[in-house]
Amino acid sequence: MNATLFVPDISCGHCKMSIEKAVNSLDGIEKVEVHIEPRTVDVAWDDAVVDMDAIIAAIEEQGYEVPAN
Ligand SMILES: [Cu+2]
Could you report the per-residue pLDDT of 11-23, keeping only the tens digit for each?
999 999 999 999 9
Residues with CB under 5 A from ligand 1 (ion): 11-12, 14-15
Looking at the structure of the chain, the number of domains it has is 1
Element (H, E) at 3: strand 2-6
Write phi, then psi, for 43 (nearest 5 degrees). Answer: -140, 140
Side-chain-side CA neighbours of 1 within 13 Å: the count stands at: 14
Distance 13 CA to ligand 1 centre (A): 6
Query: Is residue 66 situated within a structural domain?
Result: no
CATH number where 31 lies: 3.30.70.100
Residue 55 pLDDT class (50, 70, 90 cuts): very high
Query: Is residue 69 situated within a structural domain?
Result: no
Query: Is residue 9 situated within a structural domain?
Result: yes
Q: Which domain holds residue 43?
A: 2-61
Side-chain-side CA neighbours of 46 within 13 Å: the count stands at: 8
pLDDT beyond 70 at 69: no
Query: Is residue 42 situated within a structural domain?
Result: yes
Write phi, then psi, for 48 (nearest 5 degrees). Answer: -80, -15
In 3D space, the residue among 28, 41, 27, 30 whose CA is nearest the CA of residue 69 turns out to be 41
Query: Is residue 26 situated within a structural domain?
Result: yes
Distance 58 CA to ligand 1 centre (A): 16
What mean pLDDT is reported for the chain?
97
The mean pLDDT of 36-60, rounded to a whole number, is: 98
Query: Is residue 15 situated within a structural domain?
Result: yes
